[in-house]
Amino acid sequence: MKKKYLRLLLTLCFVQAAQAETIVLDTVTGVHEKLTYKLFDEGKDISVTLFTTDMATIQRLLRLGTTFYFDIKGKKNKEVYVSYPVRSETAERGIKPATGEGRPDLDGLLADLPQEGEYGHKGETELFHPMLNSLGIEIGLETTETETEGTESQGLIYRIKIPKDKIAVDDATDLSRLSIGVVSSGQKAREKADGAAGSAPSIGMGGRGRGGRGGGRGGSRGQGRQGGQRDSSNKKERPTTENIDFWFEANLKDDQ
């Protein structure tokens, strides 16, 4: 009797542990220039992690913000996105290349981040707090210390988790062709400035959400600037790092 009870107890403990643990179904890894990315399929959620030790890349991700686009048709549609931090064009003007002794304090950059992200779905937008929101979107930013051949350097880990029902409202939607875009160029900030006279998005608060120092997505839609006299005249006054703009396939399995 005692042996049966013990076996039953062990079985229950195993089942509870399995239910409590997040099961990762698929993993996609890749490198874009100086940025490493990973995607995890966690059942009802999708998480993307970015990592870099390049300070110029870090500055762009944080000061201009980063936007993650989700296209269920596997193309480059930008109707569904998460952006953090939400930045103004003023922040873009303040970006300077990180070289030599001019490397900024990464912890200071994280501490100064605005606590506001933006979620967009087919024309509808909603502002949210990156650590406290009802959307189920979770964002975390943290610093790392790495050492290579005796030289220490700081790195940034940017994590975002989004429920699949925030990508496709219908649970029956096939996500096997899902493509994800990662963009940081300042274009979104200019678009927000141009459309400031329009209706303001709603703000979602309360509910799920966790992360390091703020998280969400930031303004970064679109490609780099087109050449022109007006543009070239500003280049000396507004030095910038290179735009981040790439897409990759999620390679999710169709659960249907």
Domain boundaries, the chain: 22-249
Please write the tens of the pLDDT for every residue from 216-240.
Answer: 333 333 334 444 444 444 444 444 4
Residue with tokens 């940025």: 35
Number of H helices, E strands in the chain: 6, 12
Cβ atoms of 70 and 203 closer than 8 Å: no
Report the pLDDT averaged over residues 86-104.
56
Whether 11 shows a pLDDT value over 50: the answer reads no
Amino acid type, 27 = T
Q: 3-state DSSP call for residue 107?
A: helix
In DSSP terms, which residues pair with 36 in a beta bridge? 31, 51
Q: Which residues of 88-101 are buried (b: 16+ CB within 10 A; e: fewer)?
A: bbebbeebeebeee
Q: Poorest-confidence range of 29-33, 61-65, 71-75, 88-92?
A: 88-92
